[in-house]
Amino acid sequence: MDHFSLWLAAFLTLGIISFLYKDNPWYKLTEAIFIGISAGYWVVTLYWDNFYGKFWVNKGEEPTLWIGAFFGFLMLLRLIPKVGWLSRWPLAFIVGATSGLWLMNYFASNIMVQVQATIMPLFSTGYGTGFDADFATIVANFVIFFGTLTGLVYFFFSKEHKGAFGVGAKIGIFFLMITFGASFGYTVMSRMSLLIGRIDFLFGDWLGMIQ
């Protein structure tokens, strides 16, 4: 790493950090550079990886790719207002395909598999092993089972949260809150790690004050 590169990186790093003090010209400059560079970065990446790498290189061998190129072309027709409505076709295609794929993927992974995982013998370590679980496992099994059950109750739309149902939904919301709390804790952990990484760059790589 030569001096110029290091100082440039440090200059940009501090520019972003200066936003914490207030919105200022240094930040605005780095922000503008950031927007321009990142937009350009994605143009370049998508051109080489997607257009060139996927289509241009293989267009001879894979005739189906031309359909994609045709859709892409329709997309570009937006630039001509008169026929711009044709760009709805590729959109319709994308939305349709996404819907179909997600419908099955989520049905399988989020519903089937999770239901399968929640159905378990409460007093055993596995099906058919007899009542062999220790106290901690039994508690864990119960908590997972009732937590999932009541959490689901919370999501009912067509029933007022009243009476026994309301109690269920209330307990469900407690579980959701614990989940969010844990997520919050982990997010703190993650963000702090990244900050530490950056400080390591400033004081370690750049200024050489720490090992």
Partner 1 sequence: MGLKQLRIFKYFSFIIFSLIIINSTFVIAQDGADSTALEVVDSLTLELQPQPATNITAKDTPNDEGGSIIVSWNLSADDYAGGKVTQYKVFRAMLTDGKVGEFEQVGENTAGAESFQDGNVDNDFQYVYKVQAINSFYDENAELKEFFSESKISKPVSSSPQWFKMYTINTLIGVVLLCFFIIFYINQASKGKKLFIRKLAGMEAVHEAVGRATEMGRKIFYVSGLGDMDNMQTIASMTILGRVSELAAEYDTYLDVPVCRSLVMVTAKEVVKGAYSKAGRPDSFQEDQVHYVTDDQFGYAAAVDGMFVREKPATIFFMGQFFAESLILAETGNSIGAIQIAGTAMPSQLPFFVAACDYTLIGEELFAASSYLSKEPKLLGSLKGQDIGKGVILVALIIGVILETFNIWNFSSLFSVID
Partner 2 sequence: MRREVPLFITAIVGISFVIQYFIPHPPFSNLSDWFSDWFSIIQACAIVLGALNLMKISFLKVKDKKPDWGYAAVIIVSFLFITIIGLSEGEGFRLPGTKFDWIYNFIFIPLSATMFSILAFFVASASYRAFRARNFEATLLLIAAFFVMLGRVPIGDLLVWFMPEGYQLSNLASWVMNVPQAAGQRAIMIGIGLGVVSTSLRVILGIERSHIGGGE
Partner 3 sequence: MSTKVKEILAVVAITIFCLVFYIGKINGWETIEFSFTVSMIVISLLVLSLVWILILTIKGNLIERRIVFLFVGIAVTLPLFMGISQKISSSPEVVSLYESVDALPAGSKVLISFDYDPPSAPELQPMAEAFIQLCFEKNLKVITMGLWPQGPQQANLAFEKVFSSEKLKGRKFEYGVDYVNLGFQTGNEFVVQRMGSSFKSMFPTDYVGNAYNDLPLVKNIKNFSNIDYCFNLSAGFPGTVEWIQIGVDRFGVLLGAGNTAVQAPQIYPYLNAGQLTGLLGGMNGAAEFEKLTEIPGKGTKFMLSQSFSHMVVIAFVLIGNVAFFMSGRKSMLEGNEE
**Contact status: 86 vs partner 1 (CB under 8 A):** no
Q: Which residues bind partner 3 (CB under 8 A)?
A: 10, 14, 20-22, 45, 49-50, 53-54, 105, 108-109, 113-114, 116-117, 144, 179, 182-183, 186-200, 203-204, 206-211
Shortest distance in whole angstroms from residue 120 CB to partner 3:
10
- Asked if 210 and 200 count as a contact pair (C-beta separation under 8 A), the reply is yes
Shortest distance in whole angstroms from residue 107 CB to partner 1:
5
CB-based contacts of 151-160 (< 8 A; 24+ apart in sequence): 151/175, 151/176
Q: Choose the one of partner 2, partner 1, partner 3, none that binds residue 206, judging by a C-beta under 5 to 8 angstroms depending on kind.
A: partner 3
Close Cβ partners of 163 (under 8 Å, ≥ 6 residues apart): none
Close Cβ partners of 18 (under 8 Å, ≥ 6 residues apart): 24, 26, 27
Shortest distance in whole angstroms from residue 2 CB to partner 1:
26
Close Cβ partners of 84 (under 8 Å, ≥ 6 residues apart): 77, 78
String marking each residue 108-127 x if it binds partner 1 according to CB under 8 A:
xx-xxx-xxxxxxxxxx--x
